[in-house]
Amino acid sequence: MGINTVFEALSHPVRRRVLALLKTGPMSAGELAGHFEISRPTLSVHFAKLKDAELVVVERQGTSLIYHLNASILEAALAGLLSLKDDDQ
Amino acid sequence: MGINTVFEALSHPVRRRVLALLKTGPMSAGELAGHFEISRPTLSVHFAKLKDAELVVVERQGTSLIYHLNASILEAALAGLLSLKDDDQ
DNA sequence: ACACTAATTAGGGAAACAACTAATTAGTGT
DNA sequence: ACACTAATTAGTTGTTTCCCTAATTAGTGT
C-alpha cells in the first residue's frame, strides 16, 4: 500500500513494539496482548494497521490468528530511510 | 526528545522529502519552500517538527534561516528500525 | 523611523488517531 | 444447536494532525 503507509504504521510505539516481539518468531494476537496494558480491541486496530502496511502477515490456526513479521517490507522502510542519507549520490 | 518524536516526524511524506532535499546540502526555508506546493506557514510547521526531533539543525544567516540535515539522528532511527529485524539476537 | 523581505506564530476548521466498552464473527467441542 | 474461547468490528469520545489565511517577529537597508 505504499511506503507512506509503512512509515505511518511505524510512527506508533506500540506498533514498533509489536514488530520487535514478532522478530523472535510468530505469535498469536492473544499472546501479543499479554505484553501490553491496553485493551485487546485497541491492540487489534494496531494489528490492522501493521497488516495494512504489510509489515505483518496473518495466518489462522484454529481459533487463533498468528502474526508473522514481514521482513521484506521492513527492509523497504530501511532502504527509504537510508536514501535520506548521503550514502549514495 | 526521544526516538518516538523522531519516528513521528518521519511519518509525513513532506517531512521525509524535506530531509531528502537537505541531504544534498543546507538550504534556506524559502529555498525549500520552492520545492513544494503547500503554503509557507504549513511548511514552517513541518520544519518545526523536524527541528523538534533534531533531525535538522537551524542556523540564521541574515534574514534567512538555513536548515541542515542532522545525520546522527537519522542514524538513530535507522538503528531503531534495524533492531526490529533479526540481525542481532 | 519606515519600508521591505524572510519566516514564524496564532487562530480556526475538517479529518484522522487512539483509546474505551459493547456487539459481532469465527472456530472448537459437547 | 449451544456454550465457550479468540479475536475483530462498531460506535463513541477526546485529542492530535494538517491545512489554510491573517497577524506577528526578526533582520536589512534607506
Average pLDDT, chain B: 95
Give me the pLDDT at residue A87, please: 61
The answer to whether residue A85 scores a pLDDT higher than 70 is yes
* Whole-number Cα distances in Å, B89 to A23, A27, A35, A79, B3: 10, 17, 19, 21, 21
- Give dist(CA B55, CA B37) in Å, integer: 22
- Look at B89 and B22; give whichever has higher pLDDT: B22
What pLDDT, in 10s, does the model give residues A9-67?
A: 999 999 999 999 999 999 999 999 999 999 999 999 999 999 999 999 999 999 999 99
Nearest by Cα to B58 from B75, B70, B73: B70
Give me the pLDDT at residue B89, please: 42
Instruction: Look up the pTM and report it.
Output: 0.93
The b/e string for B1-27 (b: 16+ C-beta within 10 A; e otherwise) is eeeeebbbbbbbeebbebbebbbeeeb
Contacts of A84 in chain B (CB under 8 A): 16, 19-20, 23, 69, 74
Q: Which residue is nearest to nucleotide C16 (CA to C1')?
A: A8
Alpha helices in chain A (DSSP H): 3-10, 13-22, 29-33, 40-52, 71-82
At CB < 8 Å, which residues of chain B contact A? 4, 7-8, 10-11, 13, 16, 19-20, 23-24, 69, 71, 74-75, 77-78, 80-86, 89
Give me the pLDDT at residue B36, please: 97
